[in-house]
Amino acid sequence: MAGNTGAREGGDRLGAVLRPVRAGNGFEEALEQILQVVRLGLVPDGERLPAERELAERLGVSRVTLREVLRVLHDQGLVESRRGRYGGTFVLRRSDGAGEDELRRRTAEVDIEDVLRFREVLEVGAAGLCAAHGLSGEGVVRLRRALDHTRDAPLADYRRRDTLLHLTLAGLCGSPSLAAQYAAVRAGVNDLLDCIPLLVRNLEHSQRQHTALVEAVLDRDADAAREIAREHCAGTAALLRGFLA
């Protein structure tokens, strides 16, 4: 019957919307998000995560569940907890090799093309929006500071500051939804980047692009900003495809 056929065709279309309502249980999602914070370098090695009570509230899970997450991270050697006033949960420097298989597992199950394409769209979009609408005075300061921060970065901290620069730009584009999605996809990109070596030559190239990108945004030259962002992403994408394909 016609209606039935229509419903079946529609059924395929529904796939984009009718995805599972939660990617996993509360525990798994909370774990994922805290890992994101760490992988994005939002809390650098040695620094403290928010207190358990605050973290639990912000993640929308109970403290009990959050503590299970922290216990797992502790068992994997990623964090350390200290009691008492001015105690807390601290991010440990990842002794290279720890969680290596974890990384393999994670990168094995992501759709690399999906990540790279989505990242490019968001990155280019954020740059274009920032340039087209202009930044507030405070926005200019934040962006400049983030850029300067990448210039004098020690090699070991470059990727983290690079990430922060891009997150800053995404955060300034005027779309919180875009910023949130960028954070998520960027965590995925960082996972991929952690699988390949950091080449100084790429880094210098990247740095020139950062400078040009920020200039274009501040000049409110949207087309230029978009084009630079696109090239920037294409560079990373080519690198990753080359190493991982």
Partner DNA sequence: AAGCAATGGTTCCCCGCCATACCTTATGGC
Partner DNA sequence: GCCATAAGGTATGGCGGGGAACCATTGCTT
Using rule CB under 7 A, residue 207 touches DNA: no
Residues touching DNA: how many (CB under 7 A)?
24
Q: Do 71 and 34 meet the contact criterion of CB atoms below 8 Å apart?
A: no
Interface residue with DNA among 37, 42, 43, 67 (CB under 7 A) is 67
| Residues 84 to 123 in contact with DNA, rule: CB under 7 A | 84-89
70 binds, among DNA, its own copies, none (CB under 5 to 8 A by kind): DNA
Nearest-angstrom CA–CA distance, 49 and 59:
13
Residues touching its own copies: how many (CB under 8 A)?
65
Region near DNA per CB under 7 A, out of 37-45, 53-61, 204-212, 217-225: 53-61
Using rule CB under 8 A, residue 174 touches its own copies: yes
Token pair of 19 as six digits:
């995805």
- Smallest Cα–Cα separation from 226: which of 126, 114, 140? 126
Token pair of 89 as six digits:
């949960």
What's 90's DSSP letter? E
Q: Which is nearer to its own copies, 126 or 193 (CB)?
A: 126
Using rule CB under 8 A, residue 73 touches its own copies: no
Interface residue with its own copies among 70, 78, 143, 178 (CB under 8 A) is 178
Alpha helix positions (H), the chain: 2-13, 26-39, 52-59, 63-75, 100-108, 112-133, 137-151, 155-171, 176-193, 200-218, 222-244
Specify the 3-state DSSP secondary structure of 44: coil
Using rule CB under 8 A, residue 108 touches its own copies: no
Using rule CB under 7 A, residue 78 touches DNA: no
| Residues 129 to 148 in contact with its own copies, rule: CB under 8 A | 129
Task: Give the length of the chain.
Answer: 245
* Site residues for DNA per CB under 7 A: 25-27, 49, 51-53, 60-65, 67, 70, 81-89
